[in-house]
Chains A and B, each alone.
Chain A
Amino acid sequence: DVQLLESGGGLVQPGGSLRLSCAASGFTFTNYAMSWVRQVPGKGLEWVSAISGSGVTTYYADSVRGRFTISRDSSKNTLYLQMNSLRGDDTAVYYCAKGTGTNPHYGMDVWGQGTTVTVSS
């Protein structure tokens, strides 16, 4: 069964850092692009970042470029999102999602249940 399990969310002060993880199982991890998508409760979906299946190519939303870093470890079948210089408007539920191909140009067919990040003093 294909599964994604996020972890690493929590409460952090403005300007702080947090690393999210997404453990993948049930599919060949390196064959698929992966993405992070966030959602403020009650609001819509916002794409954050994506990475190709090989891990060579990364993509970022303008709102997080330079502060967030996406990466993947094929030996651990795990996707990461390193978040630095966090701001209040980064507060959201963060989902990891599996792409349907090796690059993230396509849909996302499996989603984790999300991990909550709260940035507040």
Chain B
Amino acid sequence: SYVLTQPPSVSEAPGQTARITCEGINIGSKSVHWYQQKPGQAPVLVIYYDSDRPSGIPERFSGSNSGNTATLTISRVEAGDEADYYCQVWDTSSDHQVFGGGTKLAVL
């Protein structure tokens, strides 16, 4: 089955740029979606189709996808961005949705 690998944690100072990676074999050929989940809350879609932003998501959130790595980039990181972030793809070979293990973003 298809596997997505994320770093367990990423930390960044306020105002800096945080990058969260999601690795998978030839992930560049798939559409990647990213979710933000704060403690005690349901996930929120922050990026879909690799780089599109749903309405209401700040422009500070952006995404890219190429080769074996997809990346969620959060510019000018704020304390309110502290959360777990998950990448997700649809694996056509198994007809399964697949989530990465999640990355905890700490804003120092």
Contact = CB atoms under 8 A, between A and B. Distances in A.
Contacts of A108: 33, 35, 43, 45, 88
Given A59-B96, A107-B33, A100 B102 contact: no
A50 B90 CA distance: 11
A61 B99 contact: no
A37 B33 CA distance: 15
Contacts of A50: 97
B90 A44 contact: no
A111 B33 CA distance: 14
A45 B96 contact: no
A40 to B, nearest CB: 12
Nearest to B47: A107
A100 B48 contact: yes
- For chain A, the bracket of interface size reads 20 to 34
A112 interface: yes
B102 A107 contact: no
A100 to B, nearest CB: 6
Query: Could you tell me the dominant secondary structure of chain B's interface residues?
Result: strand
B44 interface: yes
Contacts of A97: 43
B102 A106 contact: no
B108 interface: no
Contact of B48 (A35, A37, A61, A107): A107
Nearest to A114: B42
Nearest to B95: A59
B83 to A, nearest CB: 13
A104 B98 CA distance: 12
Contacts of B7: none
Interface of A: 35, 37, 44-47, 50, 59, 61-62, 95, 97, 100, 104-109, 111-114
9 contacts: A35-B97, A37-B43, A45-B35, A47-B99, A95-B42, A107-B48, A108-B45, A108-B88, A114-B42
